[in-house]
Amino acid sequence: MRFENMTDAIGNTPLVRIDPAVHGLRNIDLYAKMELLNPFGSLKDRAAWNMARPLLTQAVERGDTVVELSSGNTAKALAVIAGMHGLTFKSVTNRMKVAEIKDLLLLLGAEIDELPGQAECLDPTDTDDPLTRMYHRLAGSGDGYLHTDQYFNELNVDAHLNGTGPEIVKDLDGRAPDYFIACVGTAGSSTGVAAALRQHNPDVSVVGLVAHKSDFIPGIRTIDEVHEVGLFDPGVYDTVETITADDAIDGLLTLVRRCGTLAGPTGGGAYQGAVRHLRAIDAQLTERHTAVFIVCDRVESYMSYLRERRPELFGRPPRRNSLRTVTDADVRQAATMDVAEAERWIAERRGLVVDLRSPFAYQALHIDGSINIVDELFAELLHGGLPFGHRQPVLLVCPVGEKSARYAALLTRMGHPDVRSLDGGIIAWRDAGAELVRD
């Protein structure tokens, strides 16, 4: 396969059978449309390219900024496409909730604009929601923006009507599946694919999956929000069902651990939602049926999302010399020094003063002659052993003398014979009128 551009590699993704031993359906062949194999990482590559392509020549002439309301895959694809054409991309979002995607967008050179949060003191005269205001801003400034408008742009649907859908039919030897299951974000993919499949078989049963109301599944809408989507037409779906974040993660684990498919949460949700929906039908069937669901994107971008919700999946062995192993009894044994004694000790240059506060705070004001190792870094060093010799007396300093006492206890346990903590910390030092300097 030889291409001129990465955009030429968009689409033509494989349709892969899920092992019946995994899903347990006896009369239904379940296939996954592997949209995670698109070049920029997701199903949204298709929509982004289809929406942007016709406008690019003009945009390049005028040097427009590409703008989209997206905190995920559409933003990612558009950022790449904009970059390939020398344009800037700006993503406007309600809340950029997935850290990895935010970082990736910044890496790609995108600008990210966060809309303001809800007012604490309600202003009832303020009827304009931030979204409406953004649309006004884009319209008001007129030129200068290429707004792809994915929630309302029919080209988003067309990308799937002419691409994703027909590919599925072709791979099923010219037949549409009996069931099609997809998560709904902008509704572009489910609407487009459903229309293409129904051209071959008007009886295809289409299941739309949305997030349970109080849940957050990155990339798709909740049951209420879906009504705000311009492309969403309830008539497209035979049923709209909800999935929880837990469902999505359960499905994701099945796909990544058992199916060789490194799917993100919506792929997992689609799998879980599909099996749940089909299980009841499967029991009644007497002939073989076919079902297809979409795996939208990849798991790697969601590590923080997974870690937050399933910390146990990331259990690591405890590290040695961890501060968490210090008991309150250890701390009470730790040697301390009050401010007056510390002033003498420092004046006589009896040892090393380590300030555990943040570099910013240290640089603003500190005890003359102290060195700064912020606590996080100090903790990291200690996992490897003592960062100074046994014969080096040490005085530890922190804000109120609690953290320094814990570290003093830990160092003592690690075998250091002469480590002490400044009693009351640097706040007591300041309050006693002792000298603080800045360089």
Partner 1 sequence: MPLYLSPRIGPTLQSALDETVLMAQLSDALGSPLGVILPQQLTANVAAFRSVFSDHRLSGQIYYAHKANRSSALVRELAATDAGIDVASLAELQHALGAGFVPQRVMATGPKNEEFLWLCARTGVTVSADSVGELAALATLVTDWSLPRVRVMARLSGFTSAGVQFNSRRSRFGVSAAAVSEVLDVIEKRADALDLVGVAFHLDTIGLPEKAVALEGCLGALDECRRRGLRPWSVDIGGGFGVDYLADGAQWEQYTSALTEAVLGRRAPLTWTGHGYGLRAEGAHVRGSLNLYPAHRPVSGPAYLDRLLRTASPEQRRPLGTLLLDNMYDLHVEPGRALLDQCGLVLASVLEVRDEANGDTIVRLDCNARDVSLEEHGVLMDPVVVHRTTPAAPGPVGVYLFGNLCLEADLITRRKVFLPSRPCAGDLLAFVNTAGYLMDFSATQALRQPIGRKVALYRDDGAWRWCLDEQYWPVHHRAEAP
Helix 44-62 with 188-200: angle, nearest 10 deg: 120
Instruction: Identify any residues that bridge with 263 across adjacent strands, giving them in sequence order.
Output: 298
Q: Rule CB under 8 A: say whether 106 interacts with partner 1.
A: yes
Given the complex with partner 1, which of 106 and 283 has the nearer CB atom? 106
Q: Which stretch binds ligand PLP (CB under 6 A): 103-111, 180-188, 305-313, 343-351?
A: 180-188
Output the residue with the shortest Cβ distance to ligand PLP: 219
Pairing mode of beta strands 394-397, 352-355:
parallel
Rounded Cα distance between 116 and 103, Å, is 20
CB of 436 to partner 1, least distance (A): 9
Residue of the chain from 22, 399, 418, 434 that contacts partner 1 (CB under 8 A): 399
Given the complex with partner 1, which of 21 and 121 has the nearer CB atom? 121
CB of 228 to partner 1, least distance (A): 5
Q: Rule CB under 8 A: say whether 127 interacts with partner 1.
A: yes
Q: Rule CB under 6 A: say whether 186 interacts with ligand PLP.
A: yes
Given the complex with ligand PLP, which of 120 and 312 has the nearer CB atom? 120
CB of 76 to ligand PLP, least distance (A): 9
Site residues for partner 1, 130-149, by CB under 8 A, read 130-132
CB of 311 to partner 1, least distance (A): 16
For 388, other C-beta atoms within 10 Å of its C-beta total: 15
Given the complex with ligand PLP, which of 164 and 404 has the nearer CB atom? 164
CB of 243 to ligand PLP, least distance (A): 12
Q: Rule CB under 8 A: say whether 358 interacts with partner 1.
A: yes
Q: Rule CB under 8 A: say whether 365 interacts with partner 1.
A: yes
With CB under 6 A, what is the number of residues at the site for ligand PLP?
21
CB of 158 to ligand PLP, least distance (A): 12
CB of 120 to partner 1, least distance (A): 4
Instruction: Give yes or no for a contact between 393 and 386, defined as CB atoms under 8 angstroms apart.
Output: no
CB of 354 to ligand PLP, least distance (A): 39
Rounded Cα distance between 297 and 41, Å, is 6
Residue of the chain from 187, 249, 259, 275 that contacts ligand PLP (CB under 6 A): 187
72 binds, among partner 1, ligand PLP, none (CB under 5 to 8 A by kind): ligand PLP
Residue of the chain from 224, 308, 380, 435 that contacts partner 1 (CB under 8 A): 224
Site residues for ligand PLP, 18-57, by CB under 6 A, read 43-44
Rounded Cα distance between 240 and 210, Å, is 7
In the complex, which residues of this chain contact ligand PLP (CB under 6 A)?
43-44, 72-74, 120-121, 183-190, 219-220, 264, 266, 296-297
In the complex, which residues of this chain contact partner 1 (CB under 8 A)?
95-96, 102, 106, 111-122, 124, 126-127, 129-132, 213-214, 223-224, 227-230, 232-234, 357-358, 360-362, 364-365, 374, 376, 399-400, 402, 426-427, 430, 438
